Chain A
Amino acid sequence: MSDLILDVRGLSGGYDTTQIFSDISLQIAEGESIGIFGPNGHGKTTFLKTLSGLIDPWSGDIFFCGQRMNREGERGSRKMRNFNYGAVTRRRIDPKAVARAGLIHVQQGNLLFPELTVDETLSIASTAARGRKGWTLAEVRELFPRLGERGSHKIRFLSGGERQMVSMAAGLMAAPKLLILDEPTLGLSPKVRQELCDAILSVRRLGLPVVLIDQDVAFLEQIIDTLYLFDHGRFSGRMGKEEMPDHQTLMDMLFGEAH
């Protein structure tokens, strides 16, 4: 058990009454990086939001570094459809506790705090580290030299790539033990994309394990040890780095040739 950094057992969840994913199990060993590949709209992001505590899980357990992150048991039945269960039930998972334990989730297309400056944002991120050692401002600026120049700019005025960099930098300063990156290169120009990919690679080389969601198989191959296929709210396949086929083959595996 102790050599698992993240141990997800039979996790089910979704929004309010709509179930999005069911019975997901995922074990990540200490130091292992994994990739998740799958079509859009099938619940990857919802699953990750549940992992990081933004959404309550319905059932199942999440252990991070051997520590339980969710309250034990299943979500109570919601038979009375119009009753506001939110008013009487406690949250089943606390995002701040998850973050403070070191599971840091860098969201997809994260806008962060539009009216805060880059430096203010980064200083907030270091608060979250709570005494554990995260990256320092200097280290982060070395990784993303642009952020040093943009320190006093509001995030609102940054480009998409720069925002993603701030997001990642904030994640790193929050002292992650495992970093979840949800489509970090979505919608970026090839040049900025390359810059980010390089940064992720160097983070990876420094020994920080990541959970990377991306649609680019070639990029995934560079970063991860294991690839999980995700569709229709469950993992439909798992393969080691060596066995990874190309993008088209993966899509065929997921959908058959009809699509």
Chain B
Amino acid sequence: MDTAILIDIVKSGLVLGALYALMATGLSLVWTTLGIFNFAHGAFIALGAYLAWQFSSADAWGLPMVPAILLSCAVMFAIGALLHFLLVKPFERRQDIVLISVITTLAGAVILENGLQLIWGARSKQIPPLAEGAVEFGALSLRNSELILMGLVLAILLCVGLFLRYSRPGRSMRAVAQNQDAAALLGLNVPLYFSMVFGIAALTAGLAGVFVGTIRFMSPSMGSEPLMKALIVVIFGGVARFSSPIYAALIIGQIEAFSVYFVGLYWAPAVLFFTMIVVLLIKPEGLFGKYQRTL
């Protein structure tokens, strides 16, 4: 194989991996903290893209890109917290929360997606790329937008990771994730932290949506494929710690890039799912996982 092709595959794998890491982070945050799987995550991604379009596009409000993204982050955080209040909180003390939250988040996703359809219509839209032009590093050619994407994703994940690791609210959030009762008995505001986690998850999903929106055309159901990718990442890597879905995303990105090259665009997703199932059969808790959810 040609080195240039190889470098190109690895590069596109990296870009994909970065994007998948951002998509999966929110999903695994919610899972580890609340013990539920948020099926509205894909809809969050779509919503984030549409909000960013609404704020930034010349056809709509036409704000500059940075304030537009910041504004959509804030709105996404609020919506995430709100949906937690409506869809998950009413049965936080029930035994069957895992199953019930599956159906309520699925229903929430249906409402969000159809709401997008109602508000913005089915006509395809796209967010302008974050930057034009490209840079060359020897054989490697990187578009500026890809560089920005990778840099931003790295920065965002680093921020979230450091927040959880070192800040007081982050630490409390981890405590709440690991043992709600003990946290409450020490005076922590458990429902508040739950809402915050949902908000942060929605925020990261929204950012992922912005990036997806710059690459592809937007549609209300644009989140369903990323949701599946995030699902693969989370299962593949396990959720033992904050970083495990990130490593998994990078690996998945490479596998996808290589399989697109070798077996073609059509079969590549099947390869991904197949790899994931093989991993599950050998190590059900995921590559980096321990069979226990913690944050």
A residues with a Cβ closer than 8 A to B are 52-54, 84, 86-87, 95-96, 99-100, 104-107, 110-116, 120-121, 123-125, 127-130, 170-171, 174
| B171 on interface, CB distance cutoff 8 Å | yes
Interface contacts beyond A87-B91, A96-B184, A127-B172: sample of 13 additional A-B pairs, CB < 8 Å, sorted by A: A86-B94, A95-B184, A99-B187, A104-B186, A107-B181, A111-B182, A113-B174, A113-B178, A115-B295, A120-B171, A121-B175, A124-B186, A130-B187
Q: What is the bound-complex CA distance between A99 and B188, given in angstroms?
A: 9
Residues of B within 8 Å of A113, CB to CB, are 174-175, 178-179, 182-183
B178 A100 Cβ-Cβ under 8 A: no
For B172, the closest partner residue in chain A by CB is: A124
| 5 A-B pairs with least C-beta separation | A128-B187, A99-B187, A87-B90, A95-B184, A113-B178
Give the residue of A53, A86, A100 whose beta carbon is less than 8 angstroms from that of B91.
A86
User: Interface readout for B160-195 with A: 1 if CB under 8 Å, 0 if not?
Assistant: 000000001001101100110111111111100000
For A123, the closest partner residue in chain B by CB is: B171
Distance in Å from the Cβ of B294 to the closest Cβ of chain A? 4
For A106, the closest partner residue in chain B by CB is: B185
B171 A104 Cβ-Cβ under 8 A: no
> Which among B181, B187, B292, B295 has the greatest number of chain A C-beta atoms within 10 A?
B187
| B123 on interface, CB distance cutoff 8 Å | no
Distance in Å from the Cβ of B248 to the closest Cβ of chain A? 19
A96 B187 Cβ-Cβ under 8 A: yes
Residues of B within 8 Å of A123, CB to CB, are 168, 171
A128 B175 Cβ-Cβ under 8 A: no
Give the residue of A87, A96, A112 whose beta carbon is less than 8 angstroms from that of B190.
A96
Residues of A within 8 Å of B182, CB to CB, are 107, 110-113
B187 A107 Cβ-Cβ under 8 A: no
Residues of B within 8 Å of A116, CB to CB, are 171, 174-175, 178
Give the residue of B179, B184, B187 whose beta carbon is less than 8 angstroms from that of A112.
B179
Provide 13 A-B residue pairs closer than 8 Å at the C-beta atoms, listed in order of the A residue. A52-B185, A86-B90, A86-B93, A96-B189, A99-B187, A111-B182, A115-B241, A115-B294, A115-B295, A124-B186, A124-B188, A127-B187, A130-B187
For A125, the closest partner residue in chain B by CB is: B186
Residues of B within 8 Å of A121, CB to CB, are 175
A114 B190 Cβ-Cβ under 8 A: no
Within 129-182 of B, Cβ neighbours of A (below 8 Å) are at: 168, 171-172, 174-175, 178-179, 181-182
B187 A115 Cβ-Cβ under 8 A: no
Residues of A within 8 Å of B183, CB to CB, are 113, 124
Residues of B within 8 Å of A100, CB to CB, are 187
Residues of B within 8 Å of A86, CB to CB, are 90-94
Within 86-101 of B, Cβ neighbours of A (below 8 Å) are at: 90-94
Residues of A within 8 Å of B186, CB to CB, are 99, 104, 124-125, 127-128, 170-171, 174
Q: What is the bound-complex CA distance between A107 and B179, given in angstroms?
A: 12
Residues of A within 8 Å of B94, CB to CB, are 84, 86
Q: What is the bound-complex CA distance between A168 and B182, given in angstroms?
A: 12
User: Interface readout for B280-295 with A: 1 if CB under 8 Å, 0 if not?
Assistant: 0000000000001011
Q: What is the bound-complex CA distance between A95 and B187, given in angstroms?
A: 7
Q: What is the bound-complex CA distance between A54 and B182, given in angstroms?
A: 10
For B295, the closest partner residue in chain A by CB is: A115
Given contacts A86-B90, A107-B182, contact A96 B188 (CB under 8 A): yes
For A97, the closest partner residue in chain B by CB is: B187
Q: What is the bound-complex CA distance between A120 and B292, given in angstroms?
A: 20
Give the residue of B90, B185, B294 whose beta carbon is less than 8 angstroms from that of A107.
B185
Q: What is the bound-complex CA distance between A130 and B190, given in angstroms?
A: 16
Residues of B within 8 Å of A115, CB to CB, are 174, 178, 241, 294-295
Residues of A within 8 Å of B294, CB to CB, are 114-115
Residues of A within 8 Å of B175, CB to CB, are 113, 116, 120-121, 124
For A129, the closest partner residue in chain B by CB is: B187
Residues of B within 8 Å of A95, CB to CB, are 181, 184-185, 190
Q: What is the bound-complex CA distance between A171 and B185, given in angstroms?
A: 9
For B178, the closest partner residue in chain A by CB is: A113
Give the residue of A106, A107, A114 whose beta carbon is less than 8 angstroms from that of B178.
A114
